[in-house]
Amino acid sequence: MKNKFALLAVSAQKINRQHLQMILVIVSLAMLVLGTGAPTDGGGVGQ
Amino acid sequence: MILLLALAAGLLAGLAWARWRGQTYQAPELQYLWLVFVAFLPQFVVIYLPITRGTFPEWLVVGCLLASQILLLGFAWLNRRIPGMSILICGVVLNLAVMAANSGFMPISPQTASRLVSEERLLDIQTGSRIGAKDILLHPEQTRLEWLADRFLPPVWSPYQVAFSLGDVLIAFGAFWLLAKPESSIQLKKRGIPL
């Protein structure tokens, strides 16, 4: 039982870490494309 | 918006590809992630953050914008071995070149801008003034490297109108590729490409 809990904890930690890493990569890529790209639509005009 | 759509499309394609092959999706293994946050921060403050944008002198906005883009280019260069990043780098270089050659902003012609805003609103904006987040209204004959400016538009019937440059196209394609077909460091090592 104790082993099962430990295994579950390790798995949860792994999933969280993988998800967190993926979110971090996607957020970074979003910043990269927003920072380097320069398309313009009607929304920001005149601000 | 259009660039974020490219990212979302790339992610969806990557997830579908991984599922089809019965594998777990692996995001690209980017190095020096901290550099993106540091590089984007000045641009975020002077361009995007509603409470601070418009409060800085133009020379500072230009300085922050160009410095931010150079740092982001540095980040992309450090990760150049990841598939798709080389295409993205080409796009960044093209955008950076045309912006640096035109007072630090992306030029857009009145003719192109007329598809984005009404004629009355456009008449209020003088040539050489900023328009949108990073653009500057310039006639094509006043524009340096005009072929790299925001000159492309979707078809007239499209409900979403946006002007974009050749650099933007490459950035979108590179971003799509990065997420659609990432390779892990193990796969890269197998191909003999050190990270």
Look at residue A44 in the predicted model and tell me its pLDDT.
54
Average pLDDT of the residues in B46-61:
91
Q: CB A46 to CB B4 under 8 A?
A: no
Task: Please write the tens of the pLDDT for every residue from B164-187.
Answer: 999 999 999 999 999 998 765 555
Distance separating alpha carbons of residues A33 and A30, to the nearest angstrom: 5
Task: Please write the tens of the pLDDT for every residue from B14-48.
Answer: 999 989 988 888 889 999 999 999 999 999 999 99
In single-letter form, the type of residue at position B153 comes to: L
Look at residue A14 in the predicted model and tell me its pLDDT.
64
Q: Which helix (H) or strand (E) holds B108?
A: strand B106-108
- How many CB atoms neighbour CB B32 within 10 A? 12
Average pLDDT of the residues in A7-35:
84
Average pLDDT, chain A: 80
How many angstroms separate the CA of residue A17 from the nearest CA in chain B? Answer: 12
Q: What are phi and psi of A40, to 5 degrees?
A: -135, 135
Helix/strand/coil percent split, chain B, to 5: 55, 5, 40
Asked if B133 and A44 touch (Cβ cutoff 8 Å), the reply is yes
Own/partner contacts of B62-68, CB < 8 Å, gap of 24 or more, are B62/B103, B62/B104, B62/B105, B63/B104, B65/B99, B65/B104, B65/B105, B65/B134, B66/B96, B66/B99, B66/B100, B66/B104, B67/B42, B68/A35, B68/B39, B68/B40, B68/B41, B68/B42, B68/B43
- The residues of A whose Cβ lies within 8 A of any Cβ of B are 21-22, 24-26, 28-42, 44-47
Look at residue B60 in the predicted model and tell me its pLDDT.
94
Look at residue A13 in the predicted model and tell me its pLDDT.
66
Query: Nearest-CA neighbor of B73 among B91, B99, B98?
Result: B91
In single-letter form, the type of residue at position B180 comes to: A
Average pLDDT of the residues in B125-129:
90
**What number is the ipTM of this complex?**
0.90
Q: CB B69 to CB A35 under 8 A?
A: yes
- Enumerate the residues of chain A whose CB falls inside 8 A of the CB of residue B13: none
Q: Which helix (H) or strand (E) holds B136?
A: strand B135-137
